[in-house]
Structure 1
């Protein structure tokens, strides 16, 4: 009587490729969501890092010239502000809320309008003017700007009876996309122990700066992908697909609109044009030339 040998154990079946593909897809989706949510959270934190400046207007015995920030024109190096005189109690009729005498503000260095006038019998109103802000816009997006030491005197009265009254400069407000800081300098001629003069400094905020760098990465990635695809088709590692010519053309004509979308409007010819935009255009033209060489070789 023969005894049959036991059958060899069955080999485990290999895992299904479909199940593995689903796991990879789920992992990629989860990684994308984590990066996306993390980037939004980080951008929100950085965008909220700069708070608007608040002026100190507590002392009623001081004459204050309030400078409210409005707009920075980087190419022209001009800072647009709105100036308001807040007179001491002896110059102001609290019952009617009007100035008792003609008043003017003379700023140093001079603003573009010269003396800013606030007539007697009227409530002081903000006067828009511009002052110089020194900086190099070609350094975008790492450019920064600062004013000269900004001081002000108030001229009170009319005709030969006019006299100077020292005033303390206060800065308030914020500029979208900029971190603004104020440094007080000079002597304190008012009741407040703060210096009368200020220096305003402006640096690009971290949130918009990250957005600028992201657009720069897009400008770098587009020509890199185009050249890579063209070389793969030229060497025969990938099939030649004639419809790709429309994609090359679309990418080529998209570079300039993307460049013009850069926040902060860098001036034409800035380093970003010399180091990235020009070379991106050249790389795309090279990719199109490689594509047409491939087309010429593979067609009759």
Structure 2
């Protein structure tokens, strides 16, 4: 028996270790993919401008990508001695904000802000499709120094943990670099949202089971069951709002789980109260209409049992002290 118990404990520990290891491997793959950088453009030309695009946030609600742009001159674009810009540099983008970035010659280029619009990819480019929504962003970069076009090289990276950004193929036309990047929910965000949906379903099923138990057994108002269902009804709201990305009301997560769970729990609570109230009233009426039986007459005193060796007339004779006062009992 002890050996079987030890085997079970070891088996459970091995299974738990395998699950934990697989989860950490998934996190490592997601981290490396999300933090990786992609370089696009003309890398062979020595006289170019290296542009670093660091994505800070992918905002599906406003359909914007917020990023920071850093410029590093290379070759003839930079001063041979200081390494700073040899001439004034202008970078043109297709951004909503930061469409024209100007950097002065002889100064260290500062980090500039850039905002690029998001476009819906296929039919999943609406935030209400959460957590199955995905987007696409188009990037265009061109540079001009001393009145001449300069080749550009773009390195893009993202720090947004809620989205995974995947740059596509680039196209260079007259020193104008353009490419597209797909943005989709990260694996952690998608799995957590899916877990919340499944968890809501199991919670509402628990409430339905509690209601069926209370109603079918005609147990009246079971306050533990009512408290449980009432707590679930209001606990689902902060649980739903806890999903990452703050999807608006009316998303897939609502129609797929939240609205259904709230409806089933509400119906279970109301049904349990109504049926329980009727059961309690019926029990009270049945108790009031029970026939009352009259009290039974007192039972007669039992006949004295004669003692062994004593005649019956003597056992039933009154005490001598009661019959003749003053006579002592012996």
Q: Same fold (TM over 0.5)?
A: yes
Residue 32 of structure 1: how far off its partner (Å): 6.7
Residue 257 of structure 1: how far off its partner (Å): 0.4
- Structure-2 change in CA distance of 1:155 and 1:241 (3 Å): same
Residue 35 of structure 1: how far off its partner (Å): 5.7
Question: Does structure 1 residue 85 correspond to structure 2 residue 71?
Answer: yes
Residue 54 of structure 1 aligns with which residue? 37
Question: Does structure 1 residue 156 correspond to structure 2 residue 145?
Answer: yes
Deviations 1:134-157 (CA, angstroms, capped at 9, x unpaired): 222121111111112x22111224
Residue 212 of structure 1: how far off its partner (Å): 1.7
Task: Decide which of 36, 40, 51 is 1:65's aligned counterpart.
Answer: 51
Residue 235 of structure 1: how far off its partner (Å): 0.3
Deviations 1:22-44 (CA, angstroms, capped at 9, x unpaired): x89x96x8787666544433322
Q: Matched residues in 1 for 2:80 and 2:258: separation? A: 59
Q: Within 5 Å, which residues of 2 pair with 1:155-174?
A: 155-157=144-146, 162-174=147-159
Contiguous gaps of at least 5 residues in structure 2: 120-124, 282-330
Residue 101 of structure 2 aligns with which residue? 116
> TM (normalized to structure 2)?
0.71
Residue 167 of structure 2 aligns with which residue? 182
Residue 227 of structure 1: how far off its partner (Å): 1.1
Contiguous gaps of at least 5 residues in structure 1: 1-18
Q: Matched residues in 1 for 2:248 and 2:142: separation? A: 36
Coordinate RMSD, CA, aligned: 2.9
Residue 105 of structure 1 aligns with which residue? 91
User: How many residue pairs get matched?
Assistant: 267
Residue 242 of structure 1: how far off its partner (Å): 1.6
Residue 250 of structure 1 aligns with which residue? 231
Deviations 1:154-202 (CA, angstroms, capped at 9, x unpaired): 1224xxxx33323233312443133322222323767xxxx94321112
Larger radius of gyration: 2
Residue 209 of structure 1: how far off its partner (Å): 1.8
Q: Within 5 Å, which residues of 2 pair with 1:222-237?
A: 222-236=203-217
Name which structure has the greater RCO, CA cutoff 8 Å, separation 6+: 1
> TM (normalized to structure 1)?
0.78
Determine if contact 2:233/2:262 at 8 Å carries over to the other structure.
yes
- Structure-2 change in CA distance of 1:30 and 1:267 (3 Å): farther
